[in-house]
Structure 1
C-alpha cells in the first residue's frame, strides 16, 4: 500500500520550556542563547522538531501565556537576534522550530486591550465586555471569570488569569490582526504552531446567562461550532499557504470533533486530554485516584482507531503535567525500567510523539518543602482559594497532593550535570532544582550505555526505520489484562508487536489465540532478554518488548 507521507507525521517533537532549559548568562532563568548552546544535544537525541513555549514579551503572570507583544522577545530570554540565531542553528541541523500560538487571550497589558478599555475605534469590541457579569462562571484559577475594569467601567471575560482577557474572535478585525501576526512569524521561517486552547476561541453569542452545569466558563462551550469555522478560516487565509505543522491544544475535545479538526478544518493534529484524567478526581483538583489500566487502554485505543483519516498526537507529559515517570511509572526502585517502558509506549503508538524536556533522562517530580517554593500561579491561586473558603485549614493538609500534581514539577530546571544547580545556571535558579540531580543528569546518562537517554535515542531511530510504527494500523491485544498493555502495528506485510508491563507487577503474559507468532523477532527491549520467544513471557516489573516481522 502506498503511504501518503507528511514530514510532521514522521517527526518526533521535543518540547522546550525556555525558562528552565539552560541559562547562558547566570541570571537564573533559561534563555534563547542557552537553548542554542544545546542544539547539538537535541540533534544527537534524534528528534526532528523543537516546540518552544512562549518567549514573547509578557508580564509573566502565567509564565508567558499572557502575551504583551506577539512580535517581541521577553528580555529574560534574549533578543530577536538571539531567536534568529536559534532558528538558524536548528535549521542547519535539519531540525524544525514550532512556536506557541496563544490567541484565545492576550495580556491585559497588550496594546489591543489597553485601546479596548479606552473604547478606541475598532478596538472597542476586541474583548468580551459587559456592564454586569451575565453569569457566575469561574476562571480556571477559581475566581470569577468576570473582572471589573475601572477605566472602561465594565466587566471583561477571562477564562484563565485575571491578566489574560479573552479575545472576541467574532470580531473580524481581531481575526485579521491575528492572521497578519501569524504570517509575520511564518515569513520569519518558523515551521508551525502549537495552538494554545484553540478550541475555546469560539464562544456562543450571546454568552449564556446563569447556565446550569460546570462553573468553569470553558466547559460551557469548549469546541463550540464557531471554533471549527474560525480554524477553517485560519487555514484558508494563512496556513494553507505554508508547509508547516499545526497541533491544537483542545481541552474537552471529543474524538468526533478531533476528527473534524484534522480532516476538515485544517489542523494536522490535536492534543486531547482524556487520558490525562484517568487518575484525576473529577471534582477535587488535588485528589489522586487509582490508576485504572483498563480504562487507560480503552481511551488510548479509541483515539488510536477513531480519527479515520485524521492524525494523532501522542504524549504523556508537558509543562502543565507532573513528571511522566512519577505519574505513570515508578520514580523509585524501577525509575530506569519504567521510564524506558513509557518511552516504548510513546514511540510505538500511531501519531506524532511529543517528548518533554528531561523525560529522556527520567527526571522526576520535585520534593517541594513549602508553598513558597512553588512558582505556579495556578497552584497559589487554588491554595489561597481553598484557604479563603475553609476547604482546608493549612497548606500542610494537602502538601503531598500539591507536590504530586503541581505544574512546577515539569518546570524545574533541566538537569545537565552533577555540578551546582545541575549545570542549569551559574546564578540562583528561578525555581527549585530537584535535589536528585547528582544522580539524574545528562552527563551521567551519556556515560551509561544502558541509560534512559540511550534507550530514547535507540527507539527514535527504530521508529524512523519502520513504516509500520509510523503509519501502521493499530490493534489492541488482551484488552482485559489488568497489568499489560499490548498491541500490534501492521502495514502491508510488516508487523510490530509491543508488550509492556504497565503497572510494575511481574507476571506471565501469554499471547492470546489468534495472534500470529511465527516470524516475530525481538527488535528492542528494556531488559536483557535470554529467551526472546513471545509466546509466553515472564515479564519483569515494567518490562517492555518490541517484536518485528516482515
Structure 2
C-alpha cells in the first residue's frame, strides 16, 4: 500500500501558515507551502481538526462534522487544497473526532431539549455519577439542571461523549466518513478511539496506592473491537487504499497492537516510543525490536501537537543528538510522522501568563493550583502539561515565508538532513534497526 513507506507531515492548522495575516493558519496558507513540503520529500499531509468548533479544546470539540470553520477558509478552499495536494503527487488524511462532540453540536442541543428526545440516547446519561475522572481533571460527569441527570465527558465538560451502543450514532458516523471520502481525502486519523465504548455497568474505577485513578472501566472496553471492525469494513469497502491510523491513549505496546490488523486499523501511534520524556537509546532499541516482531507495521514519531518538541525534550538543544533522531525517524522500518517545524529544529513556545495559554489542560492545572500555590507556581505547573508548547506559530508566519534559504545556519543543516534522509528512504526503502 502507498502508506507503508510514506513520510507523513502533521499540520496543526491554527499555526502552520497564515495567508491573510489574521494571525491564524488557513487552507490557502497550506496550499502556498505545498511546493516546500514536496521538496522536503513529504508523501502525505495530516490535517488536524478544521471543523466548526467553539475551540474549547482547539478544535477537538466539533460542532459540525461536515463543514469547515470559517477562520480557516471555505469548504471550497479545502477542496482546492485537496486537489492541489494530489496534483503534486501527495496524499492527504484528516483528523476525525468520534469519541465526543461539542455540547454546541446540534445532536447534543437536541438531546438537551427533553429526556424523550430522539437524540437523548446518542449520549451517555446517568441519574447519579460514579467516580470516573476526566482525562483533563475533575469529575467526568456534568449535571444538567433541566433534566436533573448527568452527562458523561471523558475530556472537557464541553465535550460530551457519544453513546456508541446506539445504532443511529454509528450510521451517522458512516455518513460523515462517506462525505469526506467523496471530497477526495486519502484516509483518517481517529482521535482517542479506544475511549469509544464504556462499561455499561458503570462500575467505579479503582485507584492506585497514591490515590490516582486507574482508567479500568472507561477505556479499552469489551465490544469496542467489534465496533471498530465495522468502521474499518465500511471504509475499506469504499476504497481498500484508504489509510486508517488510530490514536490509542496508552503507551503499552500490547494494548496498542490490539487495535491494528487486517480487519482493524492499518496502524496506530506508538506512544511507547514517541512520547519518551528523555532520550534512551537502549530503550529505543528494545521497543523498536518489540514493535517489529509483531508482524504489524509501527509508526515512528517524536513530535506531535500533544507533546513538547523533541529539540528540547529529547535532544536538549544538541544538534548532533537531534540529527541522530532524524536518522532514527527516517530510515527505520515503520511509517514516519513528522510534525510541522520539526524539520527546522524548532524549540518550545512557553507561555509567560494565562493570557498566552490556549490549552484547556494547562488552564485547568493553573486554576487547580492558583489559590494554594500562587500565580507564579501555578503558571510553572501549568506549563509542564501545556500542549501549547509545540503549537506556536511557525517562524515563517512572523514576517512572511522565510523559506529554507533564510533560516539560520543550524536550521539549514537540520532541514538538509531531513531532506537527504527522506530521499534515501524513498530510494532504498526503510531498514530494520540493528
Matched, 1:455 2:432: no
Query: How many Å apart are 1:203 and its aligned residue?
Result: 1.5
Alignment of 1:38-437 (within 5 A): 38-118=33-113, 119=115, 121-133=117-129, 135-209=130-204, 211-213=206-208, 218-242=215-239, 243-252=241-250, 254-276=252-274, 278-279=276-277, 292-305=280-293, 307-308=294-295, 310-331=296-317, 334=318, 336-388=319-371, 390=372, 393-397=373-377, 399=379, 402-403=382-383, 405-416=385-396, 421-423=398-400
Query: How many Å apart are 1:211 and its aligned residue?
Result: 4.2
CA distance in 1 between counterparts of 2:313 and 2:174 reads: 38
C-alpha change, 1:394 and 1:219, in structure 2 (3 Å) is farther
Does structure 1 retain, via aligned residues, the 8 Å contact 2:366–2:381?
no
> Secondary structure of the residue that 1:37 maps to in structure 2?
helix
Matched, 1:10 2:5: yes
CA distance in 1 between counterparts of 2:399 and 2:324 reads: 25
> Secondary structure of the residue that 1:70 maps to in structure 2?
coil
C-alpha change, 1:456 and 1:293, in structure 2 (3 Å) is closer
CA distance in 1 between counterparts of 2:196 and 2:314 reads: 31
Query: How many Å apart are 1:202 and its aligned residue?
Result: 2.1
C-alpha change, 1:378 and 1:450, in structure 2 (3 Å) is closer
Does structure 2 retain, via aligned residues, the 8 Å contact 1:130–1:156?
yes
1:142-189 superposed Cα distances (whole Å, 9 cap, x missing partner): 121000123332100101011101000011110110011101111111
User: Could you list the runs of 4 or more consecutive aligned residues of structure 1 that deviate by over 6 angstroms after TM superposition?
Assistant: 446-449
Query: How many Å apart are 1:259 and its aligned residue?
Result: 3.2
C-alpha change, 1:107 and 1:156, in structure 2 (3 Å) is same
Equivalences, count: 430
C-alpha change, 1:401 and 1:362, in structure 2 (3 Å) is farther
Query: How many Å apart are 1:244 and its aligned residue?
Result: 0.8
CA distance in 2 between counterparts of 1:360 and 1:210 reads: 42
Query: How many Å apart are 1:105 and its aligned residue?
Result: 0.3
> Secondary structure of the residue that 1:8 maps to in structure 2?
helix
CA distance in 1 between counterparts of 2:68 and 2:268 reads: 26
> Secondary structure of the residue that 1:220 maps to in structure 2?
coil
Does structure 1 retain, via aligned residues, the 8 Å contact 2:186–2:243?
yes
> Secondary structure of the residue that 2:259 maps to in structure 1?
helix
Query: How many Å apart are 1:449 and its aligned residue?
Result: 9.7
Does structure 1 retain, via aligned residues, the 8 Å contact 2:197–2:221?
yes
Higher fraction of helix: 2
> Secondary structure of the residue that 1:318 maps to in structure 2?
coil
1:438-485 superposed Cα distances (whole Å, 9 cap, x missing partner): 9xx744349889521111111101001113x2xx5x3xxxxxxxxxxx
Does structure 1 retain, via aligned residues, the 8 Å contact 2:206–2:213?
no
CA distance in 2 between counterparts of 1:29 and 1:463 reads: 33
Does structure 2 retain, via aligned residues, the 8 Å contact 1:137–1:215?
no
Aligned to 1:534: none
TM-score for the superposition, normalised by structure 1 = 0.73
C-alpha change, 1:199 and 1:299, in structure 2 (3 Å) is same
Q: Larger Rg: 1 or 2? A: 1
CA distance in 1 between counterparts of 2:291 and 2:392 reads: 31
C-alpha change, 1:78 and 1:218, in structure 2 (3 Å) is farther
1:38-78 superposed Cα distances (whole Å, 9 cap, x missing partner): 11111111101000000001111100000000011101111
TM-score for the superposition, normalised by structure 2 = 0.92
CA distance in 2 between counterparts of 1:144 and 1:258 reads: 26
1:67-90 superposed Cα distances (whole Å, 9 cap, x missing partner): 000011101111101101111110
CA distance in 2 between counterparts of 1:216 and 1:165 reads: 21
> Secondary structure of the residue that 1:326 maps to in structure 2?
helix
RMSD value over aligned CA atoms? 2.4
Moved more, 185-194 or 109-118: 109-118
Does structure 1 retain, via aligned residues, the 8 Å contact 2:302–2:310?
yes
Unaligned runs of 5+ in 1: 1-5, 280-289, 425-437, 475-486, 489-550
Higher fraction of strand: 1
Query: How many Å apart are 1:364 and its aligned residue?
Result: 0.5
